[in-house]
Chain A
Amino acid sequence: MKPHAEVGQVWPENGRVLVLGSFHGLAAGERTWQVTLVLREPRGPELAYPVTVSGQAFEASVPIADLVPSEAPEKGVWDLYLSADGTRLRVGRHLDDIRDKTSIMVFPAQLIPLDGGFMHVRPRYTVNENLSIDYWYGT
């Protein structure tokens, strides 16, 4: 299995998405890690936030208010990575025995009031069991 950032818990609460997990297949070392969010479409926008690392464990927290870029104001998908000096690890959950996480490990959406409706922000697992964050405008 490729080195990756294995998810333990996801807490979509209080205007943030908090991800707890551990480095897998690679020593976190003394490097300064960030959590990087990459917008899928249109490709281009990226966001980065500091990550707390202790041994192999990491704690990444993302403020959801930042997740609606002007390039795609209605809806979009951010893919999560941990990165440090040229290394980029996808954040996902691959080490357990639950398949089809996208319909089994389901997280609640957080709602931001906007123009009479709501921006919904919700972390979820992809079909490849990586972690992404969806946002979409709706009622």
Chain B
Amino acid sequence: MRLRYLLLHAYGMGGTIRTVINQANAMAEAGHDVEVVSVVRRRDRPQFALDPRVALSALVDQRDGVRPPSLGARVVRKLRGRAVPAGEFAVDYFTPQVERAVISYLASLSGGVVITTRPGLNLLSAKYTRRGVVKVAQEHMNLATHRKDVREALLRHYGAFDAVVVLTETDRKEYEQVLPGVRVERIPNAVHTVDQRRSEQNNKVVIAAGRLVAQKGFDMLMPAFAEVVRRHPDWQLRVYGTGPKKDRLRKQIEKLRLYNNVFLMGRTEHFDEELAKASLFVLSSRFEGLPMVMIEAMSHALPIVSFDCPTGPADVLTSGVEGVLVPPGDSEALGRALADLIGDREGRLRMGAAAVRTVQAYSPASVMPQWESLYGELLAARR
């Protein structure tokens, strides 16, 4: 099969980039003819290891910076409007030059499969990829998380796809409902391995991880952990990640007198080892697509305590089995659930073992064949 993955920035960091590159590598490994096309290029080398059999190219080289649009291009945009809605979170990438490059690339393709990986690229592919090419859209975000203009554009144009692929069953149902007649599939992202060292439940450590941004809800985790410390004063919360909310969180830690229990750990290159040493993982996000870090934690036999936020936690685990879900935004309930599990080592061991069983569904060995058979079926349907 000839597979082309179109990524906004294959040379960048981030969850989508990592999972798409993993997938491209797996397809090359399975013997397919795979290309990764980066819309822009802002670095010399990709940050995630690419299989040498995968061909990598870029449409617009921005290593010397982003060229301002010409007067002509600005006039055309004014007259025709943007091809990518302003509410696309990455809209700033889509300068007139970039839009033009993507459109002429997509229009030049014939045969095989083209896989686009975010709303802006999906919309361009829906409009400009020719009929002979199998078009697949990957959606890494929940429908409700998209801004209104993006949601409307996607409802109008996604009918052109041979398949729209989402990350969770909740998303699959939602997209299917608003896109009648379109094939909507759920294929989760895979973690790099599920064969990890397991927590022995010996350390009084709870882990949270993610960029220090509002979406991750660490501001709601702090009061929850204050409740934990009241009942279990010798337990620690270690928050891995960096980001703009760091100073704000530090102030909250001071105000809640948590500086002997809550630590902002920054980045680590040994996150696997840190997970294996911990005894619980907590997810306090306001929303998620599919929280891969939670799935990684589960592969280390860590039970999960999480807000039941859209989407992900409830799609991956069942409350009471691999962990505990509490109402979204309810810090008190989050704190209570953490403190209860901290007092119940047997329960943690039981839930951790269940977590390991559940994450087998997110191993490369279970996920990659789903992609392969989807692409195969879609190509066969064309012949």
Q: Does B277 contact A (CB under 8 A)?
A: yes
Task: With a 10 A CB-CB cut-off, give which of A13, A98, A100 has the most chain B CB atoms.
Answer: A98
Within 8 Å by CB of A98, from B250, B254, B260, B263, lies B263
Cβ contact within 8 Å between B259 and A104: no
Q: Does A107 contact B (CB under 8 A)?
A: yes
Cβ contact within 8 Å between B259 and A108: yes
Q: Does A97 contact B (CB under 8 A)?
A: yes
- Whole-angstrom CA separation of A100 from B263 in the bound complex: 11
Cβ contact within 8 Å between B250 and A104: no
Cβ contact within 8 Å between B260 and A11: yes
Q: Does A84 contact B (CB under 8 A)?
A: no
Q: Does A32 contact B (CB under 8 A)?
A: no
Please name all residues of chain A whose beta carbon is closer than 8 Å to the beta carbon of B277 when the two chains form the complex.
Answer: 97
Task: With a 10 A CB-CB cut-off, give which of B250, B259, B264, B277 has the most chain A CB atoms.
Answer: B259
Q: Does A106 contact B (CB under 8 A)?
A: yes
Majority secondary structure, B binding face:
mixed
Within 8 Å by CB of A104, from B254, B257, B260, B266, lies B266
Q: Does A51 contact B (CB under 8 A)?
A: no
- Whole-angstrom CA separation of A71 from B257 in the bound complex: 33
- Whole-angstrom CA separation of A9 from B258 in the bound complex: 11
- Whole-angstrom CA separation of A67 from B259 in the bound complex: 22
Query: A18-77: which have CB < 8 Å to B?
Result: none
Please name all residues of chain A whose beta carbon is closer than 8 Å to the beta carbon of B260 when the two chains form the complex.
Answer: 8-11
Query: B336-353: which have CB < 8 Å to A?
Result: none
Shortest beta-carbon distance, B245 to chain A, in Å?
15
- Whole-angstrom CA separation of A97 from B274 in the bound complex: 10
Q: Does B265 contact A (CB under 8 A)?
A: yes
Shortest beta-carbon distance, B256 to chain A, in Å?
11
Cβ contact within 8 Å between A106 and B265: no
Please name all residues of chain A whose beta carbon is closer than 8 Å to the beta carbon of B266 when the two chains form the complex.
Answer: 100, 103-104
Find the A residue at minimum CB distance from B234: A8
- Whole-angstrom CA separation of A97 from B277 in the bound complex: 10
Please name all residues of chain B whose beta carbon is closer than 8 Å to the beta carbon of A106 when the two chains form the complex.
Answer: 250, 259, 264
Q: Does A105 contact B (CB under 8 A)?
A: yes
Find the A residue at minimum CB distance from B233: A9
Task: With a 10 A CB-CB cut-off, give which of B250, B254, B260 has the most chain A CB atoms.
Answer: B260
Please name all residues of chain B whose beta carbon is closer than 8 Å to the beta carbon of A9 when the two chains form the complex.
Answer: 260
Find the A residue at minimum CB distance from B264: A104
Shortest beta-carbon distance, B235 to chain A, in Å?
13
Cβ contact within 8 Å between A105 and B254: no
- Whole-angstrom CA separation of A9 from B265 in the bound complex: 18
Shortest beta-carbon distance, A51 to chain B, in Å?
19
Interface string of B104-122 (1 = CB under 8 A from A): 0000000000000000000
Query: A69-111: which have CB < 8 Å to B?
Result: 97-98, 100, 103-108
Please name all residues of chain B whose beta carbon is closer than 8 Å to the beta carbon of A108 when the two chains form the complex.
Answer: 254, 259
Shortest beta-carbon distance, A87 to chain B, in Å?
27
Query: B194-240: which have CB < 8 Å to A?
Result: none
Cβ contact within 8 Å between B259 and A105: yes
- Whole-angstrom CA separation of A36 from B263 in the bound complex: 28
- Whole-angstrom CA separation of A103 from B250 in the bound complex: 11
Please name all residues of chain A whose beta carbon is closer than 8 Å to the beta carbon of B259 when the two chains form the complex.
Answer: 10, 105-108
Please name all residues of chain B whose beta carbon is closer than 8 Å to the beta carbon of A104 when the two chains form the complex.
Answer: 263-266
- Whole-angstrom CA separation of A8 from B261 in the bound complex: 10
- Whole-angstrom CA separation of A97 from B264 in the bound complex: 14
Please name all residues of chain A whose beta carbon is closer than 8 Å to the beta carbon of B250 when the two chains form the complex.
Answer: 106
Interface string of A3-21 (1 = CB under 8 A from B): 0000011110100000000
Shortest beta-carbon distance, A13 to chain B, in Å?
8
Please name all residues of chain B whose beta carbon is closer than 8 Å to the beta carbon of A97 when the two chains form the complex.
Answer: 277
Please name all residues of chain A whose beta carbon is closer than 8 Å to the beta carbon of B254 when the two chains form the complex.
Answer: 108
Find the A residue at minimum CB distance from B203: A97
Please name all residues of chain B whose beta carbon is closer than 8 Å to the beta carbon of A103 when the two chains form the complex.
Answer: 266
- Whole-angstrom CA separation of A104 from B240 in the bound complex: 11
| 13 chain-A/chain-B pairs, Cβ below 8 angstroms | A8-B260, A10-B259, A10-B260, A13-B257, A97-B277, A100-B266, A103-B266, A104-B265, A105-B259, A105-B263, A106-B264, A108-B254, A108-B259
Q: Give the A-binding residues of B (Cβ under 8 A).
A: 250, 254, 257, 259-260, 263-266, 277
- Given A104-B265, A106-B250, A106-B264, output 20 extra A-B contacts at Cβ < 8 Å: A8-B260, A9-B260, A10-B259, A10-B260, A11-B260, A13-B257, A97-B277, A98-B263, A98-B265, A100-B266, A103-B266, A104-B263, A104-B264, A104-B266, A105-B259, A105-B263, A106-B259, A107-B259, A108-B254, A108-B259
Closest 9 A-B residue pairs measured CB to CB? Answer: A108-B254, A9-B260, A104-B263, A107-B259, A104-B265, A105-B263, A10-B260, A108-B259, A106-B250
